[in-house]
Structure 1
């Protein structure tokens, strides 16, 4: 059987081909699955999608009409999939319920330290042989307070790094993680966490209940010199409200690996185009903001685990088995 994989990066393609070798052929496309590209999948029983794919009801119906019966999404998040429609169409949908939490946690800390120590500005200066230190003053993390919103596997890994820095640990989640408690984390109300933390890092999934969990009120409750990091899902942050606070001169730094309107922009080369998203364009201009293109998961270890899980999901579908990765 030949599998059609959408949104495959150049680094990912040989890994996918190698993983499926001897079992199935895989056709890799760089384009993302969307309403415009869905007709390409006609005749493919199994389609693999990426995190920024559009799997709305309209797209799913187009896929089903072309003979697609299984969607293997290569990500943990699945808020882009209309599961009710998929179920009504009799489609099997699988995702990757687990991959290296260290990839994302380490990258979140990379963003935090980059904005704290002004690494991007410093690097740009030295490329121009400007070796002044003016404007590069950072802060020790040791002894300061970190607030972790979401203390699952990734949040726990982030917390362990914070513990290594010697920070005071505050957490917020619907369920307390005993391993975080062992590290000395104190669970508090979200409002208390935001008002107390010098660094706030987001590690919750994007649900109706967490959409814009960092809204205007939440941002205003944070310290003026706080650092905010989001390596989870763009929709957790009200970007318009964030821009307003940055314009007012607030926050030591903001590190964003995700953006709520990233679909159609992230993972693509827009360097020769005028980007119509005024909010994103404005966000990138702030000197204390670092924006990256949803790359926190992008390590050999994590991508390898994602692909291994995708291969298992296809095998489970063909064998009629369910697993922890099966959504419908």
Structure 2
């Protein structure tokens, strides 16, 4: 069995080597994305592994199917870059990654604390030996209400992490969990918007959740609300974020992911002329903390993402274990 892996980072290579030795699968590693120009690299392979910047749209899937590819695995939890309906029509198995939710959940709590305690301007001042306090007074989490939008594995773990801070926790999810309800109060979105001092998103990117944070939803939130996004950038309308930071309706942002980030994330663009004005403008505000889509990025998660990819393809194609198929 042969697998072509794309978007392979240097830190993933040891995990791929270990997976190849453990499974006996031949894995061909490529640093670039899977694009139409890179398709010839897939010839002779049974499966393809990639990250979120490779687009598996209908034309790409049709091409892969003609080449004999029977399984596609994304080394991410999200799979909005894959046309699932077309994959089903072509009989291509689609798998996503599974890794412990702790890394992203802990990162989320870190973001909340960084914004509430004005760490970014404090860091800036310290670097030029300005040790003044004016404008840096923060808020204590125990006195606030935190709204968690989405209580899947990551959202549920965020709720669990927050219980130690003594804050009031609200939760929204179309499918409530009894275990989460032990620590959080499930409410509708209107209530969550109106009563939360901090709102953190842990929802998948679907047609129904695209731009769920927009001008209208922000208008229904508290003045000075803090928003955190460690899920998918397109859940938030970038222009609406900028306008409401400027108007001081939003009191702070913690963003590990932002819409229109595709040409930036995980790439060194220091010497390039960038045209992404929205992100460049948003990141300069003192109450906006942004990182490069790295909430997932821990040693345990990297190993698990690679292992899920290789083991999953092998399981569905060789062992007939279709439980790993993403449906």
Please indicate the TM-score interval, normalised by the length of the shorter structure: over 0.9
User: What's the counterpart of residue 26 of structure 2?
Assistant: 25
Deviation at 1:147, TM superposition (A): 0.5
**Number of residue pairs aligned between Structure 1 and Structure 2:** 326
Q: Deviations over 1:274-307 (max 9, x none)?
A: 2212211221122211121211111112222222
Contact 1:39 1:62 in 2 (8 A): no
Tell me how far apart the structure 2 counterparts of residues 205 and 121 of structure 1 sit (CA, whole Å): 32
Contact 2:70 2:317 in 1 (8 A): no
User: What's the counterpart of residue 41 of structure 1?
Assistant: 42
Q: CA RMSD in A?
A: 1.8
User: What's the counterpart of residue 60 of structure 2?
Assistant: 59
Tell me how far apart the structure 2 counterparts of residues 87 and 260 of structure 1 sit (CA, whole Å): 28
Contact 2:12 2:302 in 1 (8 A): yes
1:95-244 matches, within 5 Å, as 95-96=96-97, 98-183=98-183, 185-244=184-243
Q: Deviations over 1:84-103 (max 9, x none)?
A: 2222333222222x321111
Tell me how far apart the structure 2 counterparts of residues 39 and 240 of structure 1 sit (CA, whole Å): 39
Aligned residue for 2:211, secondary structure, equals: coil
Unaligned segments of structure 1, at least 5 residues: none
Contact 1:7 1:31 in 2 (8 A): yes
Unaligned segments of structure 2, at least 5 residues: none
Q: TM-score, normalised by structure 2?
A: 0.93
Q: TM-score, normalised by structure 1?
A: 0.93
Deviation at 1:320, TM superposition (A): 4.8
Tell me how far apart the structure 1 counterparts of residues 323 and 284 of structure 2 sit (CA, whole Å): 42
User: What's the counterpart of residue 287 of structure 2?
Assistant: 288
User: What's the counterpart of residue 279 of structure 1?
Assistant: 278
Deviation at 1:51, TM superposition (A): 2.1
Q: Deviations over 1:41-91 (max 9, x none)?
A: 233222101122211112222333433232121111111101222223332
Matched, 1:268 2:263: no
Tell me how far apart the structure 1 counterparts of residues 67 and 124 of structure 2 sit (CA, whole Å): 50
Contact 2:52 2:76 in 1 (8 A): yes
- Check 1:289–1:36 CA distance in 2 against 1; reply closer, same or farther (3 A cut): farther
